[in-house]
Amino acid sequence: MSQKPKVLATRHLPEPVEARLSTDFAVVLSQDDSEISGADIIKKLDGFDGVLVCPTDKCDANFINALPGSVKILATFSVGYDHIDIAAADNAGLVVTNTPDVLTDATADIALLLMLGAARGAYWGERMVRDKTWGKWCPTHPLGLDVTGCKLGIVGMGRIGQAVAKRARGFDMEIHYHNRSRLPQELEQGAVFHKSLEELMPNCQFLSINCASTPETKGSVNAETIALMPDDAVIVNTARGDIIDDDALVKALSSGKLAAAGLDVFNNEPNIDPRYRTMENVFLLPHLGSATPQTRIAMGMRAVDNLQQFFAGQKPGDQVTYK
């Protein structure tokens, strides 16, 4: 290609990322960072070769089928790609890439924050201070839960799950996990593998959800699987909201079956189930897993790497394949 490939970035990106895009491509950047509809994105794409999308862009089959023929690649500024219809992209001959590896530590840090915050009452404790309801000391209340020495179950023992396990070992936690396949012994580092979620759940005083959203995992943390957990357990989720059945989790938290939950991701975010906002035993964060400058820059650079490789005639290192 004699001229620079023409790329549209749908959202405002970190300055170093936009600077590199402007050097390497004929890029059109977002001027006001407003979230725009798929139809409005399509209107902008005449003559473009690629699009750098974000998780807020819903690239369903209708969107993909409406893309101009000139568009050959969607590079998403995210690890997850559940906002993209991969089957439709594959059928259209459209390359899709993501940004793995670069947000592992940041997301694992948030998982530990949720675990500690949920267990030790970060939400209600801060409210006591802010609302001036902090009274005299009492031996019996309010009390949180111990974390040190407890059993932690991890659903999804990929890069992030392993990073969560590494941090949890600092609290002397006993690690159990469920994964599509068992890890090599050197990566398990003493963690106990369980072939099914049902087998894992009775071993989870704490449960950290770190798996991808797939047809198999959606809604897998539900009334039946939660019932298998020990009483007064804690669930934390930094993966995807649709892995949890909201009705089941709210019921378990309200009944006392579960002691607490820590959630960074939700169904239909930011329009989350309003019941969570009213619950004292839920520690909530607004999807902050990758929200550090270093991580967001690294994500953007990884997306640009993929675009460069594609337009150089190479297979992008992070190409998502349809299975």
Catalytic center residues: 240, 269, 287
**d(C-alpha 72, C-alpha 261), whole Å:** 42
96 neighbors 68 (Cβ within 8 angstroms): no
Q: What is the DSSP letter of 244?
A: B
Q: Is the dihedral of CA 200, 203, 207, 210 positive or negative?
A: negative
**Given phi > 0 = left and psi -120 to 50 = alpha, else beta, which region is 287?**
left
Amino acid of residue 60: D
Chain CA centroid to CA 279, Å:
22
CB atoms within 10 A of CB 142: 11
Grouping H, G, I as helix, E, B as strand and the rest as coil, residue 319 is strand
Q: Which residues pair with 235 in a beta bridge?
A: 207, 261
- Total residue count of the chain as it appears in this document: 323
Strand 151-155 relative to strand 206-209: parallel, antiparallel, unpaired? parallel
3-state DSSP helix/strand/coil % of the chain, to nearest 5: 35, 15, 45
Count of helices and strands (H, E) across the chain: 12, 12
Q: Which residue has the tokens 């994500």?
A: 299
